[in-house]
A and B are shown apart, each in its own frame.
Chain A
Amino acid sequence: MLRILINALRTGVVTIRYPAEPSVPPNRFRGAPVLRPGSHLPPPSVCPATAISELFDAEGRHVALDLARCIFCGRCAEDPWADAVGMGRDFELAAHCRDDLRIEVVADDPAATAAAPAPDRDAEAARTSSEIHRVLGRSLHLRHLDAGSCNACDWELTALLNPVYDVRRLGIDFVASPRHADGVVVTGPVTRNLETAVRRTVEAVPDPRVVIAVGACAASGGIVGEGYASAGGVDRVLPVDVYIPGCPPRPEAILFGILVAIGRLDARRQPREG
């Protein structure tokens, strides 16, 4: 017992101070891709998760990237498209609606800037309703709901409870029963075999409640997509309050999304240059 105490004292405090202090991911970290307009952007077929789409109109070729689908593999930023796409280091990507996660550029017009949808502050404020912020803003108890994930997102949620992230310092905790929860964090694309369990678990959470979709599969179906065994995203089954992109999102990214859900931080805005 004494040894344990001595060892704990010797280890000291390992907890980080995010979000009070920023977290800087390492150099190789692949965050939100940055599309550079005007250069020759990759065709949709390059993306294994079908996150890239294109359409043609009077302005030229529009290339759009859906961050909710993106698995951050970096393939669109490899040669020969390395000039056109860079993997940024931005990981604070959580948003209240899917459209906010769409990056669109006009490929053939060097003057056009990255055109993310114009931020709508009023709508934003309405979405993080003052009721959620007032009731849950300072103490949030979440229930984890695995809806068919590959377990990477699950392990990152577990990591939030480790001594390094220790989300309890922010008034956030994970509870065992949906009856004790203020919301759910859902991982996975909602498999057919779990659809009933997912619905019933969320129904068991008292109102007001938040539903947070963690990771590409939950946010959009991700690499799994829609299929005979997969609904292709949580919002095919339930209304979602916050989408957290990533494959998996790093623990700070999940923490950011949870704080966005309860209105303690603003959601993602314009893509920032990495």
Chain B
Amino acid sequence: MRLGRTGDLPAAAAVLIGGHSMALATVVATDETATPDGDLKVRYVFEPTAPGAPDRFVTLLVSVDAARPEVPSLTTAVPAANWHEREMQDLFGIIPVGHPDPRPLVVHDGWPQGVFPLRKAFDGSRRVPVEPADEFPHLVAEGEGVFEIPVGPIHAGIIEPGHFRFTSVGETVLHLDARLFYTHRGLEKRMEGLSPLDAFYVAERICGVCSVAHGLGYCEALEQIAGVDAPPRARLIRSIILELERLYNHVGDVGNICAGAAFHYGTATGARLKERLQQMNERLAGNRFLRGLVVPGGVLLDLSDDLLRSLAVTLQDTLSGLDGLMGRIEANPSVVDRLDDTGILQHQAAVDLAVAGVAARASGVDRDARRDHPHGAFAGPNPPDLHVVTISDGGDAMARMTVRALEARESIRLVGELVRRFEPGPLQVTLPEPLPGGRIGISAIESPRGEAVHWLRTDPRGRVERYHLRSPSYHNWPAVALAAETAIVPDFPLVNKSFELCYSCTDR
């Protein structure tokens, strides 16, 4: 839906969210100054939230004058728009007028003034010199006895970089200001101008533990543009490995939550079960992160009966290992005590921030892209049933761990179902060459972290004109900061691990 005046944007968003119970899925800015329109455009993509609603996206399109790039900010009414608006301010120079917190987000200290890397006129292939800068203005609480605790970006463990600025009184966290985008590699710019096939390998590598999900999301958006459907057998294989990706993540995450609660038996067991699954991944795909199986048009490799047999054994062992581990955790009061009521994310906050995935379902938000935006085998003939795990009275670390354990079991069951649906058939369809120009593809994939929304458009030559990924972590990070404010400082690692978000697919 194209809005004639940008001023109508807040009212239109209010109608979609209030009147049609929709949620913000993603915001995509594009630089179209070279086209006859000669403007910048911003697309606010909304999706329905009611379970069972039809699979669709509603886009509000506003045209922004490049000479006076301003749009009204939605953040006060739609908190989920917060980071999206700060990002387009940094990367496109589009100013969200009335934004309550217009600090830079993606570009850090020393970024030259007035340089917007995702504008088409900007040459993204060169390093940009660092200019002298003042210290970043963190949002902190002040008062007598209030401490500031800076943590990161380089952390004490083997984890990704982010800066967390706690303000606390004693152990109690008053406020957490999380500063991310340290791993911003400029991947969206990197993909522009590439052939859609070359760009796929970049999309697959945006995030390690979401390799399948992001590779698949890119492929589904691309296949929409190309107007082709992956064959049924390819769809089954795609869904199987998507579940295997979820499974090794969830099992490993349960182990890592144990690490946060100093339960080392659980940590070692989780790591051992995850390792077994990753070794299985390497047998299936030749890569421990399942890279190289999904390709545009289908899948590259078949799953032979031999492989499926050893997969079944691995999954059986994983199931009993996971059941045993969960039994040990639940029987251990010192672990349960750490997890119960720790890092609570209220249901309404989860709705307002459009939180996705495990964190949403553990706070009673019944959303799952496998059902809401069917993909892989769920969009194929004879789709399997899906049981969406939702806990309505939780929102704490315990609820998030429980959702993970239940979903891991569901993934194992689903893989069995998908394998039973196998029919011989082709693995790939050929994509037209060159691809149709000027078309848009949108896909939503349930990654291990939750719904990831991919937005892709081709240029007149059929190359990538703009690609945007809104990862689940992108919407969930602000929720971590909220949940941390219900906890004490020593519990933050536990809260963080119970959300288990990716930095790399947030930062891109």
Q: Which residues of A contact B198 (CB under 8 A)?
A: 48
A137 to chain B, nearest CB (A): 23
Per the 8 Å Cβ criterion, residues 116-173 of B in contact with A are 117, 122, 124-128, 130, 153-154, 156-161
A173 to chain B, nearest CB (A): 11
Q: Which of B197, B272, B504 contacts A162, CB < 8 Å?
A: B272
B166 to chain A, nearest CB (A): 18
Q: Which residues of A contact B159 (CB under 8 A)?
A: 146, 154
Per the 8 Å Cβ criterion, residues 294-348 of B in contact with A are 300-301, 324, 328, 331
Determine if A224 and B185 form an interchain contact, defined as CB atoms under 8 angstroms apart: yes
Contact A48 B202, CB 8 Å, known A154-B160, A191-B185: yes
Contact A248 B108, CB 8 Å, known A149-B160, A224-B187: no
A18 to B189, CA, bound (A): 41
Determine if A225 and B190 form an interchain contact, defined as CB atoms under 8 angstroms apart: yes
Determine if A247 and B205 form an interchain contact, defined as CB atoms under 8 angstroms apart: yes
Q: Which residues of A contact B158 (CB under 8 A)?
A: 144, 154, 157-158, 161, 174
Chain A: which residue is nearest B283 at the CB level?
A26
- The size bracket of the interface on A is 35 or more
Contact A227 B181, CB 8 Å, known A151-B209, A197-B154: no
In this assembly, does A112 line the interface, its C-beta being within 8 Å of a C-beta of chain B? no
Q: Which residues of A contact B42 (CB under 8 A)?
A: none
A86 to chain B, nearest CB (A): 13
B193 to chain A, nearest CB (A): 12
Number of B positions contacting A (CB below 8 A): 65
A60 to B56, CA, bound (A): 56
In this assembly, does A14 line the interface, its C-beta being within 8 Å of a C-beta of chain B? yes
A74 to B300, CA, bound (A): 10
B159 to chain A, nearest CB (A): 7
Determine if A29 and B286 form an interchain contact, defined as CB atoms under 8 angstroms apart: yes
Per the 8 Å Cβ criterion, residues 134-182 of A in contact with B are 144-146, 148-159, 161-165, 174, 176-178
Q: Which of A29, A144, A177, A192 contacts B108, CB < 8 Å?
A: A192
Name the segment of A2-10, A61-69, A121-129, A262-270 touching the other chain. A2-10
Q: Which residues of B contact A176 (CB under 8 A)?
A: 156-157
Q: Which of A78, A226, A250 contacts B126, CB < 8 Å?
A: A226
Name the segment of A34-42, A96-104, A228-236 touching the other chain. A228-236
Most buried by B among A30, A149, A155: A155
A114 to chain B, nearest CB (A): 22
- A195-218 CB mask vs B (1 if < 8 Å, else 0) is 111000100000000000000000
Determine if A151 and B160 form an interchain contact, defined as CB atoms under 8 angstroms apart: yes
A25 to B275, CA, bound (A): 14
A194 to B184, CA, bound (A): 9
A78 to B292, CA, bound (A): 12
In this assembly, does B178 line the interface, its C-beta being within 8 Å of a C-beta of chain A? no
Contact A148 B211, CB 8 Å, known A4-B265, A28-B283, A162-B272: no
Determine if A228 and B265 form an interchain contact, defined as CB atoms under 8 angstroms apart: no
Chain A: which residue is nearest B328 at the CB level?
A4
Q: Which residues of B contact A72 (CB under 8 A)?
A: 287, 292
Determine if B160 and A146 form an interchain contact, defined as CB atoms under 8 angstroms apart: yes
In this assembly, does B183 line the interface, its C-beta being within 8 Å of a C-beta of chain A? yes
Chain B: which residue is nearest A7 at the CB level?
B324
In this assembly, does B271 line the interface, its C-beta being within 8 Å of a C-beta of chain A? yes
In this assembly, does A82 line the interface, its C-beta being within 8 Å of a C-beta of chain B? no
Determine if A226 and B127 form an interchain contact, defined as CB atoms under 8 angstroms apart: yes
Contact A150 B504, CB 8 Å, known A7-B324, A74-B292: yes
- B244-283 CB mask vs A (1 if < 8 Å, else 0) is 0000000000000000000001001001101100100011
Q: Which of A74, A161, A223 contacts B205, CB < 8 Å?
A: A223
- B82-126 CB mask vs A (1 if < 8 Å, else 0) is 000000000000000000000000011000000001000010111
A247 to B181, CA, bound (A): 22
In this assembly, does B350 line the interface, its C-beta being within 8 Å of a C-beta of chain A? no
In this assembly, does A257 line the interface, its C-beta being within 8 Å of a C-beta of chain B? no
Per the 8 Å Cβ criterion, residues 183-209 of B in contact with A are 183-187, 189-190, 194, 197-198, 200-202, 205-209
A125 to chain B, nearest CB (A): 31
Chain B: which residue is nearest A165 at the CB level?
B275
A230 to B207, CA, bound (A): 16
Contact A228 B124, CB 8 Å, known A146-B159, A197-B161: yes
Q: Which of B126, B278, B286, B324 contacts A228, CB < 8 Å?
A: B126
In this assembly, does B78 line the interface, its C-beta being within 8 Å of a C-beta of chain A? no
- Given contact pairs A27-B283, A151-B208, A155-B289, a sample of 20 additional A-B residue pairs in the complex whose CB atoms are under 8 Å apart: A14-B272, A26-B282, A87-B286, A146-B159, A146-B161, A151-B209, A152-B208, A152-B211, A152-B289, A164-B272, A164-B275, A174-B158, A192-B128, A201-B154, A227-B186, A227-B190, A228-B122, A228-B127, A247-B205, A248-B288
- 5 residue pairs of the A-B complex, CB under 8 angstroms, read A146-B161, A148-B185, A152-B208, A165-B275, A250-B282
Top 4 closest pairs, chain A to chain B, by CB: A152-B208, A176-B156, A229-B186, A28-B286
Instruction: Spell out A's residues near B (CB within 8 Å).
Output: 3-4, 7-8, 11, 14, 25-30, 48-49, 71-75, 78, 87, 144-146, 148-159, 161-165, 174, 176-178, 188-189, 191-197, 201, 222-232, 247-248, 250
